[in-house]
Amino acid sequence: MKLDQNLRNKILKTFKETGMIRRTARKYNVSRNTVRKIIRTPEPDKSSVSYSPRSSKLDPYKAKIEYLIKVKDLSAIRVLEDIKPLGYQGGYSILKDYIRRIRPSKSRGASAPIEHSPGHDYGKNVIMLRNQTLMF
């Protein structure tokens, strides 16, 4: 059960007033372990925590990679060989994952069904068995 911040604050306030875990748990219909958990680890303010996206080793080379994939249609190994001399320090796996995201999908079109009349298109089979040629 996910507790909202308002209920957490009420539980903390009630516990500070009474000092009793059991009474606080009964009042808000939560388990004593939940009250203990809230008392031990007050939740930090989420607005103060900010995460910035981490830069990738591929970032300086993305334009070159896109050109090699979309225009020249090279494989990931060939792209790696082309960007290593430019100073790329990353590995093959991160490059391959990025290429999978940007490469246009190669979808096969539907093929026409092949129709055979019974016995008409039967070809000859030749088998070599102990220096003998058998034809069916």
pLDDT at 69: 92
Could you list the pLDDT tens digit for every one of the 136 residues in the chain?
577 888 899 999 999 999 999 999 999 999 999 999 988 886 655 555 567 788 899 999 999 999 999 899 899 999 999 999 999 999 999 999 999 999 877 777 777 887 766 665 556 666 777 777 766 5
pLDDT at 6: 87
Secondary element (H or E) of residue 18: helix 5-18
* Chain-centre distance for alpha carbon 94: 12
pLDDT at 1: 57
CA distances from 9 to 3, 28, 29, 114, 119 (A): 10, 12, 15, 73, 84
Helices 62-70 and 76-83, packing angle to 10 deg: 140
pLDDT at 135: 63
pLDDT at 121: 55
Contacts of residue 103, defined as CB under 8 A and 6 or more positions apart, other chains included, come to 69, 70
Contact 73, 104 (CB under 8 A): no
pLDDT at 131: 74
pLDDT at 103: 87
